[in-house]
Amino acid sequence: MPTAQSFHSQLVMLALLLGFALLHSGGAALRPWGEARIGARAWRLLFALVSIPAAVLLVAYFLAHRYDGLRLWNLQELPGIVPFVWGLTAVSFLFLYPATYNLLEIPALLKPELRLYDGGIIRISRHPQAVGQVLWCFSHLLWIGSSFMLVTCVGLIAHHGFAVWHGDRRLRARFGEAFEALKAETSVIPFLAVLDGRQQLQLQEFLRPAYLGIAIAVGLFWSSHRWIGLAASSFNRSGLAHWLDASHWPG
DSSP summary character for residue 107: T
Task: Check: CB of residue 35 under 8 Å from CB of residue 108.
Answer: no
Exposed/middle/buried for residue 250 (C-beta within 10 Å: 0-12, 13-18, 19+): exposed
> What pLDDT, on a 0 to 100 scale, did the predictor assign at position 3?
60
Task: Check: CB of residue 141 under 8 Å from CB of residue 150.
Answer: yes
Task: Check: CB of residue 69 under 8 Å from CB of residue 148.
Answer: yes
Task: Check: CB of residue 155 under 8 Å from CB of residue 10.
Answer: no
Residue-range domain boundaries for the chain? 4-244
- Looking from the CA of 53 toward its CB, the CA atoms found within 13 Å total 6
- Positions of the chain with pLDDT under 70: 1-6, 98-112, 226-232, 235-243, 245-251
The CA distance from 29 to 114, in Å, is 12
Q: Helix, strand, coil: what percent of the chain each, to 5? A: 70, 0, 25
- Residues with Cβ within 8 Å of residue 34, at least 6 apart in sequence: 27, 43, 46, 47
- Residue 123, Cα to own-chain centre: how many angstroms? 20
- Looking from the CA of 73 toward its CB, the CA atoms found within 13 Å total 10
pLDDT digits (tens, 9 = 90+) for 125-181: 999 999 999 999 999 999 999 999 999 999 999 999 999 999 999 999 999 999 999
The CA distance from 124 to 80, in Å, is 28
pTM score, whole prediction: 0.85
Q: Where are the alpha helices (DSSP H) in 70-112?
A: 81-96
Would you state the torsion angle of the CA atoms of residues 51, 55, 61, 62, taken in this order, to the nearest 10 degrees? 150
